Amino acid sequence: MAYHELLQVLPLVSAAVWFGIGALPVLRRRLSSPFEGSLTGFALLMGLWAFLDWIFLGFADPSQADLAVLISNVRITVITGAMATLLFASKWIYLGHSRWDALLLVPVAGSLAIVWTGLTSGAEFVWWGPRLVRDPVRYSLWAAQQVAYLGAAIVMIAALSRQRRDIPQTSRVRIFWTGGSLGAFLVIWLATNIYNNVTGSSDVPWLSSLLVVPGVIILVALGPLSSEAFGTLFRQAADLERRVIAVYLFHQSGEPLVALASSRTFPIEPERMQSILSVVGSFVETSLASGSAYGVTALRFDAQGAVAVRGRHVIAAALYDGPAYDAVRSELVRIVRGFEAANVRELETWEGATTVAEAAADELSRLLSRADSPAP
C-alpha cells in the first residue's frame, strides 16, 4: 500500500519541480538563444512527461485500458521530444549550429511513427496500475534511437567538461551536479525501461517518481542564480572569453558608437577583415529595415561567425571563433536590453548616445577574448 501511495504522489511532485526548472529561464529573462530555448523545452517536456505518468499510473479500471494506452503513447512521444531537445542543446554548445541540424529530426520522426503505429497493443492491470503490452521488436527500434541520442548528448557534455577545466571550481561543481545527476538518472531510466519492456517484466516504474531527485539538485544549484550569474555560467561553459574577436555598437542612425577588438593577432588577411566589417555594416542596414525589437541576424564564414542584435535604438554586433553563437547571441541581447532600459532618453539621438556609450563599451569588453588566452 505504501508503494502505491508513493506512486500516486511522487510523479506529480516531480512534474512540479521540472515545471519550476523550466520557469527559471523565463523568470530570469534568459531565453535569448536556441540553446537556452532547448534547455527550457527539455525541462518543460520532462515535467509534462512526469505529469502524464502520474495520470497513467492512476488508471485502475480495466475498462479504461484504451485510454491508458492513449496516454502512454502521448507520454512516450513527449519523452522522445525531450531526448531530441537534449541532444540539440548538447550539440549547439559543444559543436555549434549547422545547416544540417534538421536532419536529426528524421530519426525522431521514425520513432514517433513506431509509437503511433502499433508499439503498444494494450494494457494489463497489476497491483500498482496498468502494465503496457508492447511489441519487443518495435520497442527495441524506438529505444535504439533514444540510446543513440542520450549517449551522444552525454559524450558531448563530458567532452565539453573535459575541455573547460579552467572554469572556476564553483561553476564546475554546479555543472557536474546538474548535468551528472540528470545524466545518471536518464541512463538508469532507459536501461530499466528497456529491460522491463523487452522481457515483459512487471516491475514498478519508478523513474517519474525518482526524477524529483535530479530536479531538486538542479533547482538548488541554479535557482538562486540571478540573470547575470546565469550568464556568467553560460559564458564560462561556452568559453566565450576565448572566442569573441571583436564587438561593435551602432546607433539606429547607422553611426558607430563602440568598436573594440581583441589584442591578439587576427588569423585572417587584412582584406578579409575588411569584408567582415562590410558584413557587419549590412547587418545594420538589414536591422534598420526591420521594425521588430531585438531582432537577430547571423552569418557563418570559414571558422568565424558574426551575430548582430538590434534593439529599439542600438545595434550590437560581434565576431567570434568556434561554436559560440548561442552564448554571443544571449549576451548581446542582454547587453542591448539593459543598455536601452538604462538610457532611454539619451539614445533618442546619436549625440546623446555618445555620452553613455562608455557603459556599453564596458559590458561589451567583457566578451572579448584575452590576449593571454589563445583559443583552443
pLDDT band at 375 (very low <50, low <70, confident <90, very high): very low
For 2-232, CATH gives 1.20.1070.10
* Candidate CATH numbers 3.40.50.720, 3.20.190.10, 3.30.450.50, 3.30.360.10; the one for domain 240-365: 3.30.450.50
Q: How many CB atoms lie within 10 A of CB 17?
A: 23
Q: Which pTM was predicted?
A: 0.85
Q: In this structure, what C-alpha cell is assigned to residue 213?
A: 531527485
Whole-number pLDDT of residue 371: 42
Q: What is the pLDDT of residues 300-348, one digit of tens each?
A: 766 778 888 888 888 888 888 888 889 899 889 989 998 999 998 999 8
- pLDDT tens-digit series, residues 349-374: 889 999 999 999 998 988 885 544 43
Cell 502494465 sits on residue: 131
Give tens-digit pLDDT for 111-138.
Answer: 999 999 989 988 888 777 788 888 888 9
Q: Is residue 375 a contact partner of residue 322, using CB atoms and an 8 Å limit?
A: yes
What are the extents of the domains in the chain? 2-232, 240-365
- How far is it, in rounded angstroms, from Cα 373 to Cα 178? 27
Please indicate whether residue 17 or residue 180 has the higher confidence score (pLDDT): 17
Closest CA to 237 of 308, 166, 182: 166
Residue in the structure block whose three cell numbers are 571583436: 246
